[in-house]
């Protein structure tokens, strides 16, 4: 069966700093007309950074949407026309103050295809060199280093609660 | 450093079938005021269903937001006040026509904490019994069974493109 849904019309109902929301009319495979709500996203990168000593660099930040601090791998949005691997190195340095001399692509996944087109590129970064964190004035991120043993303890205690972080650590073989 | 952001005001700017979007004003740790955009979500479940013969039940559906068909583990939204394990069994039967006699919790993760509060509960479902698929009139889902070997081939070919599916298959030990 052909499952494709054909776009009949599209309207931007909100265009913010973080979220751009489209409200579309589509024709379903059975010929009926339905509506679809789509959060437009430029794409993202997330990086599992591992030091020469085998420690993993994580960031702790307050996530307003979920109302708590989360421990996550560094991540960020793609700039317009930006190459994902360049974005990965840029975000890694901005958020953690580390540059990486090796970068290995782990996967590219849609984070929530039910309502957004966000495609996330996951990388393993190695041979890290400490330079300097570059945060925006209104960005607050703590950088923390952990051994794989500590991270496995966090997993067993339910402290890894972010999907991309769980997936990245598994794909990188850390856990 | 205390990283918490305090809510000063909140406004619902869009309330749709799939997405409810809030636009909030917050006080940052440095005392400044900023805005936050949050997609409100009731929570979700996703299930890795494995038959007695060791085959994995996946669903193929057209994902309008990303403009293509994806191969995914069955998943769906929590009903109001619904227990996640009850929701997992309900969604599994609705989408695939299978009920499970065993259900094992794998993890609970925030899918995209940068802009939504969606918390996804992941389960491994076993001892499946075929009953009957219950789709809405405007829902189109193909059910397909694969061996773990086939799924590992899909992974190496880049055909597993959905984050929750990748994570669920890894946590369940299928890949």
Q: The CATH number of the domain where B72 resides is what?
A: 3.90.79.10
From the CA of A85, how many Å to the nearest CA of chain B? 18
Residues A89 and A156 in one domain: yes
In a domain, B1, yes or no: no
Please report the pLDDT score of residue A101 as a whole number. 97
**What value does the CA radius of gyration of chain B take, rounded to a whole number of Å?**
19
Under 8 Å between Cβ of B113 and A162:
yes
Residue A112 and residue B111: Cβ atoms within 8 Å? Answer: yes
In a domain, A1, yes or no: no
Kindly report, residue by residue over A142-171, the tens digit of the pLDDT: 999 999 999 999 999 999 999 999 999 999
Number of domains in chain A: 2
Please report the pLDDT score of residue A123 as a whole number. 98
Kindly report, residue by residue over A78-89, the tens digit of the pLDDT: 999 999 999 999
Chain B partners within 8 Å of A34 (Cβ): 138
Please report the pLDDT score of residue B167 as a whole number. 98
Candidate from A18-27, A53-62, A156-165, B134-143 with smallest mean pLDDT: B134-143
Report the residue from B37, B61, B163 with minimal CB separation from A163.
Answer: B163
Residues B155 and B100 in one domain: yes
Residues B127 and B67 in one domain: yes
Assess whether B137 carries a catalytic annotation: yes
Residues A31 and A51 in one domain: no
ipTM of the complex: 0.96
From the CA of A50, how many Å to the nearest CA of chain B? 21
Is residue B139 over pLDDT 90?
Answer: no
Chain B's closest residue to A75, CA to CA, is: B114
Q: Are strands A44-49 and A75-77 parallel, antiparallel or unpaired?
A: antiparallel
Kindly report, residue by residue over A81-135, the tens digit of the pLDDT: 999 999 999 999 999 999 999 999 999 999 999 999 999 999 999 999 999 999 9
Residues A105 and A133 in one domain: yes
Residue A18 and residue B37: Cβ atoms within 8 Å? Answer: yes
Residues A16 and A73 in one domain: no
Residues A32 and A71 in one domain: no
Residue B21 and residue A19: Cβ atoms within 8 Å? Answer: yes
Residue B61 lies in domain: 44-171
In a domain, A33, yes or no: yes
Under 8 Å between Cβ of B92 and B45:
no
Residues A36 and A61 in one domain: no
Residues A90 and A17 in one domain: no
Under 8 Å between Cβ of A88 and A47:
yes
Residues B152 and B79 in one domain: yes
CA distances B139 to B17, B60, B144, B150, B160, Å, are: 14, 12, 16, 26, 21
- Burial, A1: exposed, middle or buried (Cβ in 10 Å; 0-12, 13-18, 19+)? exposed
Is residue B38 over pLDDT 90?
Answer: yes
Residues B28 and B55 in one domain: no
Residue B161 and residue A38: Cβ atoms within 8 Å? Answer: no
Distance of CA B35 to the CA centre of its chain: 27
In a domain, A134, yes or no: yes
Residues A110 and A54 in one domain: yes
């Amino acid at each position: 069966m052909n499952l494709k849904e054909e776009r009949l019309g599209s309207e931007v109902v909100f265009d913010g700093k973080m979220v751009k929301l489209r409200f579309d009319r589509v024709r379903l495979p059975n010929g009926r007309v339905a509506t679809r709500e789509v959060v437009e996203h430029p794409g993202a990168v997330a990086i599992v950074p591992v030091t020469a000593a085998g420690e993993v660099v994580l960031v702790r930040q307050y996530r307003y949407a979920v109302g708590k601090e989360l421990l996550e791998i560094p991540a960020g949005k793609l700039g317009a026309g930006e190459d994902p691997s360049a974005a990965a190195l840029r975000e890694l340095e901005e958020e953690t103050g580390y540059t990486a001399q090796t970068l290995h692509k782990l996967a590219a996944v849609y984070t929530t295809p039910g309502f957004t087109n966000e495609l996330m590129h996951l990388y393993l970064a190695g041979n890290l060199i400490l330079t300097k964190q570059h945060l925006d004035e209104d960005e607050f991120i703590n950088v923390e280093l952990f051994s794989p043993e500590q991270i496995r303890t966090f997993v067993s205690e339910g402290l890894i609660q972010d999907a991309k972080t769980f997936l990245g650590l598994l794909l990188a073989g850390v856990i």
